[in-house]
Structure 1
Amino acid sequence: MNAIAEPIKAHPRAATIFTCVLAALAGLMFGLDIGVISGATQFIQAEFRIDDRTIEWIVSAMMLGAAIGALGAGWMSSALGRKRSLILAATLFVAGSLLSGWAWSPATLIGARFVLGLAIGVATFTAPLYLAEVAPVRIRGAMISTYQLMITIGILVAFLSDTAFSYSGNWRWMLGVIAIPGALFLLGVLLLPDSPRWLMMRGRRAEAVVVLTRLRGDAAVVVSEVADIEEQLKTPQRGWHLFLQNSNFRRSVGLGVLLQVMQQFTGMNVVMYYAPRIFEGMGYNTESQMWFTAVVGLVNVLATFIAIGLVDRLGRKPILYIGFTVMALGLGVVGTMMHLGIRTHVEQMFTVAMLLTFIVGFAMSAGPLIWTLCSEVQPLKGRDFGIGCSTFTNWIANMIVGVTFLSLLNGIGNAATFWLYAGLNLVFLVITFLLIPETKGVTLEQIERNLMAGKPLREIGQ
């Protein structure tokens, strides 16, 4: 009996390790693809001799692809399964990365970035869903948090990689090297089982029990979890019908859409995609631009821990108040310094410090908390639909920001562009006061009851 029992005990530990690897690689790759283009644009522009408008589309094609990928990811993860969807995403990651590195024209590069976007759209919907369904209860929250944290680490790694390749100006390696983690991600997904919840959704209960037994190693835990899944599946997702029939649900969907517009129009992804160009406007040379871009990534990672530590202590709204205020102040001062003229080294460093202050404001507030709120305000029957709408909005708003920033710089100037984003953050401060609920310590069921009872949005967390 002992000879048989030992391998069974080993399986849950192995499954946990693979789950951790998957969480890290999925988030890391998402961050890599966001950050990698930042350092490459100036070298791409020089080689192909293209204007800023074409660069904007090279940057933003990925967001368009992600929006379309996110739209289809819900159907795909249901019809094909979470695992097959992730296999497809990983394959697209590798193909898009290699094609980016081999791109022979701007049009090819735009197409490659679109393919990467499709991969991101599918992966960002499916990976957290898969992790939540496969990870043991004791580490489920940690896995989702790890995924979010690894996105910021991926951005930092991309910035450091860009800095290393910038000395040779080799943008092809900058973009192509992320095929390596893509291949590792693909390998990791192939080694993992199907989601037990998906198997039960497809009527394959016996297979789900086998998978859960491998993952948990405890018969009592398996019985309990199977019962929980069966109970949850009694509440089918009817988001589209609910959206058409219930005005209160339309309010929650609208709030989720608004939250994502707010997150994207803070200006954070302007810095993520165009940091070297911003530092160029401050008077720095190419080498300094790249290193300061890496510092941006590091500050983004470290400041994320502020949100993790404070979100369940201070609450959502106080942190958003602080974040939008800090972001408005940071960008307002950056714009003012650019308006007055940055002439001395001290003025340069002060302007950089204020830009980093803006990064801290975002990473501690709107970055992680918007996603938290978007999931909390949607009722159970329409949660997939509501989150799908907000995710799609995130990528469309992201694309609008990416495809307009350089045009704004060229049209109204550096200072006015940063003042514009500072002003938007002040508007978001007012919206937070008027519309955003405080959901700290409130159950999802209570939020849903308040929403469906017709309470004002700002009061559904009371």
Structure 2
Amino acid sequence: MNAVAADLSAAPRASAFFVCVLAALAGLMFGLDIGVISGATTFIQAEFGVPDRTIEWIVSAMMFGAAVGAAGAGWMSAALGRKRTLLLGAVLFVAGSLLCGAAWSPESLIGARFALGLAIGLSAFTAPLYLAEVASEGSRGAMISLYQLMITIGIFVAFLSDTAFSYSGSWRWMLGVIAIPGVLFLFGLFVLPDSPRWLLMRGRRNEALAVLRQLRGDEAVVAREAADIEEQLRTPQHGWSLFLENADFRRSVALGVMLQLVQQFTGMNVVMYYAPRIFQGMGYDTASQMWFTAAVGLTNVLATFIAIGLVDRWGRKPILYTGFAVMAVGLGVVGTMMYFGTTTRGEQAVAVSMLLVFIVGFAMSAGPLIWTLCSEVQPLKGRDFGVGCSTFTNWIANMVVGATFLTLLNSIGAAATFWLYAALNALFIAFTWAFVPETRGVTLEQIERKLMQGVRLRDIGR
């Protein structure tokens, strides 16, 4: 009897974990695209004979497309559902990857990168939202962190692929080969259930209860969670109207927007997009640049496990404090090493080591936790709108970072550029203390009630 009960309780846990892992694979697509362009830029520049400014636009065109995709993702995920939106994103990802590999000019490559960005924008909005809605409150932080873990794995795999193709200079294969995992992800999505929250929003209660039983198992938990969701759905979701009418909702939207600005201006994506160029500035040859870039990707993957292991035990804010401090120190030292020069092997090793320390700081903190918090702080009636605003901001800020880094290097120098990002990370510690709530172990409904009662932002998780 006990064995049967154990099997019955284990089945929903296994089902919920499988659903979350498969949905988080959307992050893999995201990571592959971020990582793959890093190794390709040198060869693209050589083939087309374009200046740094054109390379910045090739890199950042994907982020602009993602911003456009994210802007429409809120409506799409509400109207079509989270699952169908992810399916559309997967189709666009495969098509965009193939177009990138077949690009015949810098302009066509920019256009293909924009199309690929549309796919990433849809997925970057929908996947964390879906994960927040299918995970239980006790595992929500770790499950959403799976999305960031998949991004880091995608980046690492792309870096390894770039390194392999770099010996032949085949940048078209670098960009086109990622269509293969995109096809696999597309087929995997067909087995995902719809979000129970979305089903209840659409009045499909029986289907929602069936999904909750599949994910939770315990009828008492299913009934309680369904009742909590239905309580919040008595008024239809109208994000824009709620934004205009409710000052408390405007506060949560503003917090989501600021969190995404913070994440992007840590400088992480500078390293992701231009790692070979950074290592070139440290004095390494082409082969070393590519292998150290792969080391960056591996460090990013491994350090993300720190966040997954601690986010639901240690809490969001302590991890963010630690991460921003580590990033500020890491980039500060890198800037100092670049200022005095890295002419010896020892100096080069110190510079590389501190850059990897910076990667650890981001991957254990702002990388996964910003996405977690942005999903958690938005009230259900306006969640699509709120997460859409924060995701749109993420991509606009991402585009700004990608489109300005080489310009900064050429104008103020490498040392000052890294010092600038180090100073920003130090400022983000104060921002976290002043505005970011601790949401560990708190239900989404409890967070919403305190937000709408006017409790200050940093206290809505208490």
Give TM-score, length-normalised by structure 1.
Answer: 0.88
Shift of 1:187: 1.6
State the distance in 1 between where 2:314 and 2:140 align.
23
Shift of 1:75: 1.0
Question: Is 1:289 paired with 2:283?
Answer: no
Shift of 1:77: 1.8
Taking the TM superposition and a 5 Å limit, the aligned residue runs for 1:8-407 are 19=19, 22-23=22-23, 25-131=25-131, 143-192=143-192, 194-195=194-195, 197-204=197-204, 230-407=230-407
**CA displacement 1:208-257 (0-9 Å, x = unmatched):** 67777888899998888766665553353233222212223222221221
**CA displacement 1:181-228 (0-9 Å, x = unmatched):** 111112222454555554554445566677778888999988887666
**CA displacement 1:255-283 (0-9 Å, x = unmatched):** 22111111100100000110000000000
Shift of 1:151: 1.4
State the distance in 1 between where 2:340 and 2:277 align.
19
3-state DSSP of counterpart to 1:50: coil
3-state DSSP of counterpart to 2:429: helix
Change (3 A) 1:458 1:190: closer
**Is the Cα contact below 8 Å between 2:378 and 2:387 reproduced in 1?**
yes
Greater CA drift, 379-388 or 101-110: 379-388
**Is the Cα contact below 8 Å between 1:25 and 1:181 reproduced in 2?**
no
Letter in 2 for 1:406: L
Q: Partner residue of 1:423?
A: 423
Greater CA drift, 391-400 or 311-320: 311-320
**CA displacement 1:309-333 (0-9 Å, x = unmatched):** 2334443222222221211111111
**Is the Cα contact below 8 Å between 1:19 and 1:135 reproduced in 2?**
no
Shift of 1:114: 0.8
Shift of 1:428: 1.5
**Is the Cα contact below 8 Å between 2:35 and 2:273 reproduced in 1?**
yes
Where structure 1 has 5 or more consecutive residues not aligned to the other structure, the ranges are 1-10
**Is the Cα contact below 8 Å between 2:131 and 2:144 reproduced in 1?**
yes
Shift of 1:284: 0.3
**Is the Cα contact below 8 Å between 2:144 and 2:372 reproduced in 1?**
no
**Is the Cα contact below 8 Å between 1:18 and 1:192 reproduced in 2?**
no
Shift of 1:445: 4.6
Shift of 1:24: 5.1
Give TM-score, length-normalised by structure 2.
Answer: 0.88
Letter in 2 for 1:239: G
State the distance in 2 between where 1:316 and 1:142 align.
11
Greater CA drift, 71-80 or 133-142: 133-142
Change (3 A) 1:239 1:31: same
**Is the Cα contact below 8 Å between 1:324 and 1:429 reproduced in 2?**
yes
Letter in 1 for 2:123: A
Greater CA drift, 215-224 or 236-245: 215-224
Change (3 A) 1:183 1:445: closer
3-state DSSP of counterpart to 1:104: coil
State the distance in 2 between where 1:432 and 1:13 align.
33
**Is the Cα contact below 8 Å between 2:142 and 2:312 reproduced in 1?**
no
State the distance in 2 between where 1:161 and 1:116 align.
19
Shift of 1:301: 1.1
Change (3 A) 1:257 1:133: closer
Shift of 1:360: 0.9
Q: Percent identity?
A: 78
Letter in 2 for 1:180: I
Taking the TM superposition and a 5 Å limit, the aligned residue runs for 1:409-420 are 409-420=409-420
Greater CA drift, 352-361 or 227-236: 227-236
Change (3 A) 1:371 1:237: same
CA RMSD of aligned residues (A): 3.1
Shift of 1:350: 0.5
State the distance in 1 between where 2:446 and 2:134 align.
27
Letter in 2 for 1:367: G
State the distance in 2 between where 1:94 and 1:450 align.
42
Shift of 1:285: 0.5
Shift of 1:390: 1.1
Change (3 A) 1:423 1:144: closer
**Is the Cα contact below 8 Å between 1:197 and 1:208 reproduced in 2?**
yes
State the distance in 2 between where 1:187 and 1:239 align.
32
3-state DSSP of counterpart to 1:424: helix
